[in-house]
Homo-oligomer: A and B are copies of this chain.
Amino acid sequence: MSERSVIHSTIVLERSYDASPARVFAAWSDPAALQRWGSPGEGWESSIDRFEFQVGGIALSRFGPKGGESYVNETRYLDIVRDQRIVSAGGMTSGGKRLFVGLLTVEFSPEGTGCRLVMTEQGAFLDGHDQPENHQAGWSQMLDNLRVECA
């Protein structure tokens, strides 16, 4: 048997945006918007190959540093409440190896004229291929990108 391990981790990130919950929600439900802000690294390339924004629908994307290792993310929407909540679950592979599986909850609520966003990623990092610190940094970068997208 090969060496197997799982590290479970919960990452919570919060942001306040100067845009309505509907506007911020739209940045997650529109694939063109998502592709603009949803890249975790400066200069990374990404493509969205499938995008079915409905409960039970699949979103499939590829991303990675230019000329470097490429990651495939496949996620399935489990719960959608318009302008309020998106929950999805899926996994990330690279070169056929499964690195990560996780459940992602994004909550949107009004805050003055803006939006409070709370993102919770409950992850299982598989066989030492990936670390929670990478996700913490990647999501932090993306939620900052999202501020520009919603400006």
Chain A positions within 8 Å of B, measured between CB atoms, are 1, 4, 6, 8, 10, 76, 78-79, 81, 83-85, 87, 89-91, 98, 101-103, 105, 107, 120, 122-124, 126
Total copies of this chain within the assembly: 2
Measured between beta carbons, the chain B residues less than 8 angstroms from A78 are 89-91, 98, 101
A105 contacts which of B1, B76, B124 (Cβ < 8 Å)? B124
Measured between beta carbons, the chain B residues less than 8 angstroms from A8 are 10, 105, 120, 122
The residue of chain B having its C-beta at the shortest distance from the C-beta of A21 within the complex is B1
Of the A-B pairs whose beta carbons lie under 8 Å apart in the complex, a sample of 17, sorted by A's number, is A1-B84, A4-B107, A6-B107, A6-B120, A8-B120, A78-B90, A78-B91, A78-B101, A79-B91, A79-B98, A87-B124, A89-B90, A89-B101, A101-B103, A103-B122, A105-B124, A120-B124
Beyond A87-B101, A120-B8, whether A126 also contacts B79 by CB under 8 A is: yes
A103 contacts which of B4, B85, B103, B126 (Cβ < 8 Å)? B103
Contact B102 A103, beta carbon cutoff 8 Å: yes
A71 to chain B, nearest CB (A): 16
Measured between beta carbons, the chain B residues less than 8 angstroms from A90 are 78, 89
User: Given A76-B76, A122-B123, 20 other A-B contacts at CB below 8 A?
Assistant: A1-B83, A6-B87, A6-B105, A8-B10, A8-B120, A78-B89, A78-B90, A78-B91, A78-B98, A78-B101, A79-B91, A79-B101, A79-B126, A87-B101, A89-B90, A89-B103, A103-B122, A103-B124, A105-B124, A122-B122
